[in-house]
Amino acid sequence: MELGGGSGYYSKKFLSSVSTRHYTFVEPSIDMLELAKKRLPRYVDIIDKDALSALNQIEKRQDMFIFQRSLYSFYGTTNEYRPLLKIMYEKSNDNAVVAVSEMVSQYDLKQLYDYFYVNRSLLGLDNDEDFARDWQILKDVLEEYNYNVKNGIFTHFYLENIKPLFESEGFELIENFETNFYFRRS
């Protein structure tokens, strides 16, 4: 289950490298869901709700939770994450893994525009009109992200604040590299 899947860009890459026929994609933004639906395989279950609502909705226990550059945006303080982690613990199988990939800085929009424009064929956006439309959606989201980072609205996770938070809710850190963290239900 991926929580806060955004445009589905990373989901598509992930799904192309694993063999699974059950994947749940959670994203509350209608604009991001529009982009994701174009990218994701048909077998993906899409839930258009926030993470906590989606977790309350599912019945099946999960083997994995993925936060691909999304966890920072859910709440403003680390303590506000506790209810989310509690329900993740309840909805996870023994030894379930939580994979968290976070960002550490604001986006350089010009650099990203250049990157996406050069790689637009890989993104399935060969048509200039499609690229312009989808870039505007992404740009709006990234501008909001930069604003919220600058103003302390988002919580950025580093080893020093994410490890004790997850451990206090029953998960153990099994690996980390820079801003990528992997926890297991203990």
CATH of the domain at 177: 3.40.50.150
Name which of 78, 90, 93, 106 is nearest 163 in CA terms. 78
Q: In angstroms, rounded to a whole number, what is the distance separating the alpha carbons of residues 86 and 137?
A: 33
Q: Model's pTM, two decimal places? A: 0.81
The reply to whether 12 and 56 lie within a common domain is yes
pLDDT above 70 as % of the chain = 99
42-71 residue pLDDT tens: 999 999 999 999 999 999 999 999 999 899
75 and 52 in a single domain? The answer is yes
Q: Between these two residues, 156 and 56, which has the higher pLDDT value?
A: 56
pLDDT score, position 149: 81
Chain segment 120-148, per-residue pLDDT in tens: 888 778 888 889 988 998 899 889 888 98
- Same-domain status, 75 and 30: yes
Report the pLDDT value the prediction gives residue 60, as an integer from 0 to 100.
92
Q: Is residue 95 located within the same domain as residue 25?
A: yes
Q: What average pLDDT does the segment 9-37 reach? A: 92
112 and 140 both lie in a single domain? yes
Structural domain harbouring 129 = 105-153
Confidence of residue 104 (pLDDT cuts 50, 70, 90): low
CA angle at 69 for the pair 166 and 180, rounded to the nearest 5°: 55
Task: For residue range 76-103, list pLDDT tens digits in order.
Answer: 888 999 999 999 999 999 999 999 998 7
Q: Are residue 28 and residue 89 in the same domain, yes or no?
A: yes
In this structure, the answer to whether residues 116 and 173 fall within a common structural domain is no
Whether residue 132 is found in the same domain as residue 114: yes
Mean pLDDT value of segment 16-35 = 91
Indicate if 145 and 177 belong to the same structural domain: no
**Does residue 13 sit in the same domain as residue 78?**
yes
- Say if residue 83 is in the same domain as residue 11: yes
Q: Could you give the strand order of the β-sheet that contains 180-185, starting from the edge strand earlier in sequence?
A: 44-47, 23-26, 2-3, 62-68, 92-101, 180-185, 171-177
Domain count, the chain: 2
Together in a domain, 100 and 110: no
pLDDT grade, residue 152 (50/70/90)?
confident
Tokens of 155: 């919580």
Write out the chain in H/E/C secondary structure. Answer: CEECCCCCHHHHHHHHHCCCCCEEEECCCHHHHHHHHHHCCCCEEEECCCHHHHHHHCCCCEEEEEEECCHHHCCCCHHHHHHHHHHHHHCEEEEEEEEEECCCCCCCHHHHHHHHHHCCCCCCCCCHHHHHHHHHHHHHHHHHHHHHHHCCCCCCCCHHHHHHHHHHCCEEEEEEECCEEEEEEC
